[in-house]
Homo-oligomer: A and B are copies of this chain.
Amino acid sequence: MIQASLIAIDWGTTNRRVFALGPDGAVLERFADGLGILSVPDFPAEIAALRARFGDAPMLLSGMIGSNRGWIEAPYVPCPAGFGALSRGLVRVEGTAIVPGVRDIEDVMRGEEVQLLGAVSAGLMPRQGSACLPGTHAKWARIERGAISGFRTVMTGEVFALLKQHSILSAQLQAPVRVGPAFVEGVQRALDEGELLADLFTIRARALLGGIEDPASYASGLLIGSDVAIGLSMIDEGPVALIGDPALTALYAAALEEADRDSIQIDGETAFLAGIHAIAARL
């Protein structure tokens, strides 16, 4: 058994990431597995298994574990939401604390708030600025005075996955996506026209009429370009903090460059751990 000082779990719908942290914040051990909330029949038993492995340190849980389909619901706190609001909204159960999600007028996030505020508290992005967390459901957020003041969800990753797995374009979208001429062409088209439902079909038509180079990257460019156009319409001027998986933030950085917008890329795990430490300091 490792005696951790803090146990942090980013517990999502289909998988989870577990971190055992030492007294100085160093990661003693980390692992990810497929035990998302939909695969866990007995949360107390799961928690006990983690305690057997990492000891009885404070345990912070974020993500879908606090949703109405998770273990115990941690109700959404409203915008503007900073660490104070998250801490006051913690739901304590069996020696753990579940971090609440955040809601805007007609939007919700759960899990991203820890990364967002963690990036701010670690000084990786300013206390007044804009951020984007790419993913299945990408989040664009405004940060004011160190709190999340508003945000919007864009279904970019999910729609790309649907097209890749189930659509008439499926066979054309299996290659890895890379930043290159096809990606840039897709981004520019999306930024110029914003007619996604029609632009997507050109992938099929161009293949029938004589070929299209790198259709997967072109499709990704169309979707990320559409996403960026939406995001830029709701944030202020200045650089965008891109928080997440480096392969994905690199695509968004390239798309933002086409829109003449600077960005800074922040590793999602670094931001998550910074957020967890800030919440733990208030326990």
Contacts and interface: CB of A to CB of B under 8 A. Distances in A.
Nearest to A163: B162
B162 A166 contact: yes
A247 interface: no
User: How many A residues are at the interface, by size bracket?
Assistant: 35 or more
A158 B165 contact: no
A239 interface: no
Nearest to A152: B198
A167 interface: yes
A45 interface: no
> Quick one: copies of this chain in the complex?
2
A108 interface: yes
Contacts of A227: 197
A48 interface: no
A225 to B, nearest CB: 11
B205 A108 contact: yes
Interface of A: 68, 76, 103, 106-108, 137, 152-156, 158-159, 162-163, 165-168, 194-198, 200-202, 204-206, 208-209, 223, 226-227, 229-230, 233
Given A153-B198, A194-B194, 9 more contacts: A103-B205, A108-B208, A153-B205, A155-B198, A155-B201, A162-B163, A162-B166, A196-B197, A197-B223
